Amino acid sequence: LTKDQRWMRCDIKSISLLANVLDKQKGFEKGFFEVWQLRKKFITEGTTSNAFIVNKKNQICTHPKNNLILGGVTRDCVVEIALKNKLKVIEKAFNIDDIKNCNEAFLTSTTLGIIPVVKVEDTIINKKQVGLITKNLMKKLEDFLDKQVYE
């Protein structure tokens, strides 16, 4: 986790992604794949991804699309797939306590799809096991993408 130092229009994809690159590098140097950014104690998004958790009620939580995140097309697809499969999606910012108490976590990225998250700093999520909802969404996204290519 790192403080979100970006400007207040993160929803605009611009050539000014320096803060993201610097935070991604800091995380890499500490052995992390990705860094989730914090603004006023709430996770906004990753440096190159959108952040999701699955809470104790098996509801999928992610930051709402607004000026504080760059809402990705894969994020939108995953939200749509979840809703079509009768999963509850809550677009509301979550914090580190929510991460500590969640059942699952994952991130989305256009280049990577859905990547399970099993550890955030010192917090182990689901005994480092990929959760069932995450696995299901990974399969559904793969099916959705195959359908786009092959039909």
Q: Which of 13, 127, 128, 147 is catalytic?
A: 13
Percentage helix, strand, coil, to 5, in the chain? 35, 25, 40
In sequence order, the 6+-apart residues with CB closer than 8 A to the CB of 47 are 20, 21, 23, 24, 27, 34, 35, 37
- From first CA to last CA, the distance across the chain in angstroms is 40
In sequence order, the 6+-apart residues with CB closer than 8 A to the CB of 118 are 105, 124, 125, 126, 128, 129, 130
Q: Lowest-confidence range among 36-40, 54-58, 91-95, 145-149?
A: 145-149
At 75-91, the pLDDT tens digits run 999 999 999 999 999 99
- Answer positive or negative: Cα dihedral of 57, 103, 87, 132: negative
Q: Lowest-confidence range among 14-18, 41-45, 101-105?
A: 14-18
- Reference 59, options 81, 75, 82, 77; nearest CA is 82
pTM score: 0.89
Catalytic annotation on 13?
Answer: yes
pLDDT at residue 144 tops 80: yes
Task: Give the separation between CA 70 and CA 10, rounded to whole angstroms.
Answer: 6
